[in-house]
Amino acid sequence: MRKLVASACAALLIGASPLMLGASAANAADGAGFTRTASAANVAEGAEITLDAPAANVGVNAVCVPSEAWTETVVITPEVPAVPAIPAVPEIPEISHIETVVIQEAWTETVIDKEAWDEEVFDHWQHYSWTGGPHTSDSAPAFPSGDWQANVQGDPHGVGVAGAYFRSHGNAGNGDWFYLEAVTKTVHHEAETHTVEHPAVTEEVKVVDQEYVPGIPGVPGKPAIPAVTEEIQHPAVECAATPAVITKTKTTAAAEKAAPAQPTALAVTGTNAGLPVLFGGAGALALGLLLMGIRRFARE
């Protein structure tokens, strides 16, 4: 049983020791430079190459780029340009005048007071004499007839009344009958009128010479708003490690034949290079002591 336990502990320590050594080597690699020397078999013509790399480039594959300090200006709010003012446009008043427009011209109206008519008026007397033979009746013979004869115009006996009348002439001849006829004529009378003068019909009309144009109020301008910025100071970037130096050394033909190919040697150097070596030696010593104790325990 004791042998079984001792074997298990030994196996555990043996398996953990490489991890401890690897961790120490990894910690040594972080932030430390290294030197690599290649043998003639790895480098043509037996050259020796020495690489000195900065700690920042080991393990992270980063490239250190040196730069000077600089100031970055970050725009937080962009600039707002100014808006020019729009001037006001004054209103234009209306300009007009009054004109008299004739709707109907003046005219003369004739008003009829009495329509035109024809009038029969006395013109003259026509005197007739009876030629029909003796007329014994006291009444006058009928007029007109072929027994009456017109003899003179006028009223020779001064009767002054139209009609038949008797004037004895000593009962000589065919009877003393006469007839006085009033002869008329047509007189045309024009219509009786009067005139009325009508003045012209007019109207006062406003004539616009200039239409009214309303004004436009002005719009005030807006001043420019400067941009709001922030300055960020970036420090300088400095790369402390020296650049890699490649040294090539030729060897003679005799040295090439005599010197066998040497394996590549990897030596960790730098400010922290002693710590991994110290930790590695201490670990190996502790491992040896532990193995010896386990063996004694197993034998007992």
Q: Taking 70 as the threshold, does the pLDDT of residue 17 lie above it?
A: no
Say yes or no to pLDDT of 269 above 60.
no
**Digit-coded pLDDT (tens) for 43-62:** 334 334 333 444 434 444 56
Model confidence, pTM: 0.31
CA dihedral 278, 283, 284, 287 (to 10 degrees): 160
The better pLDDT of the pair 279, 255 is held by 279
Three state DSSP letters for the chain: CHHHHHHHHHHHHHHHHHHHHHHHHHHHHCCCCEEEECCCCCCHHHCCCECCCCHHHCCCCCCCCCECCEEEEEEEECCECCECCECCECCECCEEEEEEEEEECCEEEEEEEECCEEEEEEEEEEEEEECCCCCCCCCCCCCCCCCEEEEEECCCCCCCCCEEEECCCCCCCCCCEEEEEEEEEEEEECCEEEEEEECCEEEEEEEEEECCECCECCECCECCECCEEEEEEECCECCCCCCCECCCCCCCHHHHHHCCCCCCEEEECCCCCHHHHHHHHHHHHHHHHHHHHHHHHHHC
Interacting residues of 96 by C-beta distance below 8 A, sequence separation 6+: 206, 207, 208, 209, 210
Q: Which two tokens stand for residue 9?
A: 């502990």
| Cα distance between residue 266 and residue 92, in whole Å | 99
Residue 255 sits at the vertex; the CA angle it makes with 250 and 260, to the nearest 5 degrees, is 105
Q: What is the pLDDT of residue 133?
A: 80
Is 55 in contact with 33 (CB distance < 8 Å)?
A: yes
pLDDT tens digit sequence for 55-112: 434 444 568 889 999 999 999 999 999 999 999 999 999 999 999 999 999 999 999 9
- For the stretch 200-244, pLDDT in tens is 999 999 999 999 999 999 999 999 999 999 999 999 999 886 655
Cα(264)–Cα(34) distance, rounded to whole angstroms?
Answer: 13
Distance, in Å, from the CA atom of 83 to the CA atom of 60, rounded to the nearest integer, reads 55
Cα distances (angstroms) measured from residue 128 to each of 148, 154, 159, 171, 243: 6, 10, 13, 18, 181
- Tokens 């400067």 correspond to 226
The predicted pLDDT at position 174 comes to 56
pLDDT at 104: 93
Give me the amino acid identity at 73: T
* Torsion angle, alpha carbons of 252, 253, 254, 257, to 10: 130
Could you tell me if 125 and 182 are in contact, meaning their C-beta atoms sit under 8 angstroms apart? yes
Please report how the helices 274-299 and 2-29 are oriented relative to each other, as an axis angle in degrees rounded to 10: 180
- d(CA 145, CA 156) in angstroms, rounded, equals 21
Q: Which residue has the higher pLDDT, 57 or 132?
A: 132
β-pair partners for 211: none
- Residue 136's identity, in one-letter code, is T
Q: What is the pLDDT of residue 48?
A: 40
- pLDDT tens digits, 119-128: 999 999 999 9
Mean pLDDT of all residues in 21-29: 37
